[in-house]
Amino acid sequence: MPVKERRTKILLLFFLIRDTSFEYVSFTPTLLKMFDLTLNQKTKGTLTAMLKDELLEKGEASQNEDELPQYKLTEKGFYELCLEFPSFRFLRDEWDGMWRIISYEIPENKRHLRDRLRREMRGWGLGPWHRSFWMTAHPVISALRDLVYGKEEAQYIQAFESTHMFGDMDVLVEKVWGKTELEKQYKELFKYWHAILSKELSKEDKMQEVIYEYIKTLRDDPGLPTTLVGKKWIGYEAFSIFKEMRGILLS
């Protein structure tokens, strides 16, 4: 599994199985295995914490003791997931046309702060615009404020919001996010998927491999809005193909 953090695995499970419908999901052993999870005490503890944080909602308790618990993703949970996998956001939301620009110049002798900041902002769809300037189409300023509040690195950071006034947007997208290279990654993903479907495996094992390869590619997708990439963007095509495979392999 390309993701190690249990909380993120759980959020991914709900979105990749139900996507933007936010419908209830039964925690079957087969489904949990696909996301490298088991319903042990650690997972139950994480679920309890996520319910408390209102990232998930639990279905009504059944009279049947053998019936598996059901949960669904909340809107708050979805947006937390979008801070790890930004490409999900614009499958549901319209872009507000605003760019978020983050600048940080952290001294070399405090590089551990810089490295930590970069790790924590990895899923925000940021691309390098100029030296020490990063930009994204995602509404991350409040998340940035929460992230660095009261921390030493806050003194080295500036953040702005702006609209695009002049210049070729296609050139900007290619320069900052490498759209062409990302398209190549998705084409490679399609080849992997085709190879997986051709294997002599159970439907469940095929689905697990499909999910793992998809997550690897999603990690590199900055989640550019339709305004910038068009309705035929290969990332949207990948999501449609994934849903088709899901429908077949989970039937």
The residue out of 115, 134, 163 marking a domain boundary is: 163
In this structure, the number of other CB atoms found within 10 A of the CB of residue 189 comes to: 21
Which secondary-structure segment (H or E) carries 183? helix 179-197
Local structure of residue 139 (DSSP, 8 states): -
- Domain count of the fold of the chain: 3
Q: Model confidence over 202-240: pLDDT tens digits?
A: 999 999 999 999 999 999 999 999 999 999 999 999 999
Do 113 and 67 share a structural domain? no
Q: What are phi and psi of 135, to 5 degrees?
A: -135, 155
What pLDDT sits at residue 66?
Answer: 61
pTM, whole model, 2 decimals?
Answer: 0.92
**From CA 228, how far away is CA 80, in angstroms rounded?**
23
Determine the average pLDDT of the residues in 15-30.
92
Provide the residue range defining the domain that includes 135: 99-163
Structure tokens that stand for 66 in this block: 């053998």
CATH number reported for the structural domain that contains residue 15 in this entry: 1.10.10
Local structure of residue 20 (DSSP, 8 states): G
Q: Model confidence over 182-206: pLDDT tens digits?
A: 999 999 999 999 999 999 999 999 9
How many CA atoms, within 13 angstroms, populate the side-chain half-sphere of residue 150? 1
Q: Where are the beta strands (DSSP E) in 16-169?
A: 25-26, 56-58, 70-73, 99-104, 127-130, 133-136, 157-162
Within a domain: 196: yes
The residue out of 135, 163, 191 marking a domain boundary is: 163
Structure tokens that stand for 201 in this block: 């495996």
The residue out of 84, 110, 144 marking a domain boundary is: 84
Within a domain: 185: yes
**From CA 177, how far away is CA 245, in angstroms rounded?**
28
Q: What are phi and psi of 53, to 5 degrees?
A: -80, 0
Question: Residue holding tokens 């390309």?
Answer: 2
Q: Model confidence over 119-174: pLDDT tens digits?
A: 999 999 999 988 889 999 999 999 999 999 999 989 999 999 998 878 888 999 99
Do 197 and 128 share a structural domain? no
**From CA 6, how far away is CA 225, in angstroms rounded?**
28
Do 223 and 157 share a structural domain? no
